[in-house]
Amino acid sequence: MMKRWQALKRLLPLLAMFSLLLSGCGREDLSVLNPQGPVAEGQLGLITISISIMALVVVVVFVIAAYVLIKFRRKPGQNEVPVQVEGNHKLEIIWTAIPLLLVIVLAVPTIQKVFAYGEDKWNEEGVLQVEVTGHQFWWEFSYPQYDITTAQELLMPVDREVALRLRTADVLHSFWVPSLAGKTDTNPDGSINHMSLSTGNPGTYIGKCAELCGQSHGYMEFRVKAVEAEQFDAWVEAFKAPAVLPEDSQLAEKFRTNCLSCHAVGDQGGFLGPNLTGIGSRETIAGILLNDINGAKGSSPVKDNLVQWLSEPQEVKPGNTMPDPKELGFSDEEIEQIADYLANYKLDY
């Protein structure tokens, strides 16, 4: 007895460490336990049903096991072999029927919801259509109804259903916004997956790629920003304004030839990289450097983050496909100027 206690005592610090480690896993903003829309609410319902059934089974089994262990244990002086029982129809039927019933109770709502949430609502009246494309390691959002393509931040109006068509430009990714809906894979076989989401609460909801997709998979974050309908309309209008380029014409030319081969601003440029229109009013740079006044060092966190990204893109997101601007011939000073230009490229909405 004494020995066992000593061994346990030695394990205690280890157990304490594990519980500390695990407590670090919870991120408030990535929790499914605080749903902000009907889809996430339904999914939380499924979690609740399955955990309740599981807990019920565990409790019943443990109570029966404890009862049997105590009641039928060998008592002092009791040496004869107890009566041996083989087969009991009643019991066998009971312990087959109950699990079957539990599985049915779990399966019916699960199958219903899995199909309902993956339904194609693209052509339903009044929905906002958004095409989602996963890239290593960023998200592209296109709004065919408005002829807009943006990245990293999916802006949506509150109280309007958003129908999503999901695909990938390269490997398997998974679109997941814990507070609103998910997860839905983007398949490399060219097929398109559907899902929908909506919320009545304005706010910023964090999303994450939920399918290991390469070196910087863990940094493949995005935001879903729900705003009032008027604000959404203002964003659409601001987005469609003519492109803003750096004021210095030499720098503008350098930016156009080196950066707009992949990036777009306004109606100019390409789509191999994230659209940079209005990047100064986004909440992140590259989806992972937070433009939060309290979080970043300087007086302009957006600019600081841009400088950091443009100076060492491979440090921020190892394995990403953007070339190092320094290798494209940009000096530290020019990076500073480009960062300044992009930080001030804001959309008024």
Q: Using CB under 5 A as the criterion, which residues of the chain lie in contact with Cu ion when the complex forms?
A: 173, 209, 213, 220
Task: Map tokens 């404890």 to a residue.
Answer: 66
Token duo for residue 19: 């519980």
Please select the residue that binds ligand HEC; options are 50, 129, 187, 321, rule is CB under 6 A. 321
Length of the chain: 349
The option from Cu ion, ligand HEC, none interacting with 188 (CB < 5 to 8 A, set by class) reads none
Among 172, 323, 336, 344, binds ligand HEC (CB under 6 A): 323
CA atoms within 13 A on the CB side of 113: 19
Q: How far is the CB of 252 from ligand HEC (least distance, A)?
A: 12
Q: Which does 317 bind (CB under 5 to 8 A by kind): ligand HEC, Cu ion, none?
A: ligand HEC
Q: Does 258 bind ligand HEC (CB under 6 A)?
A: yes
Of 127 and 328, which has the nearer Cβ to ligand HEC?
328
Residues 261-320 touching ligand HEC, rule: CB under 6 A, are: 261-263, 272-274, 276, 279, 285-287, 306, 309-310, 317, 320
DSSP annotation of 105: H
Residue 77 C-beta-side C-alpha neighbours within 13 Å: 0
Asked whether the CA dihedral 297, 314, 321, 162 is positive or negative, the reply is: negative
At 53, the amino acid letter reads I
Cα 165 to Cα 124: distance, rounded to the nearest angstrom: 13
Residue 58 CB neighbour total at 10 angstroms: 10
Contact flags string 118-147 toward ligand HEC, x per CB under 6 A: -------------------xx---------
Separation of alpha carbons 221 and 208, rounded Å: 4
Positions touching ligand HEC (CB under 6 A) are 137-138, 151-152, 258-259, 261-263, 272-274, 276, 279, 285-287, 306, 309-310, 317, 320-323, 325, 328, 330, 338, 342
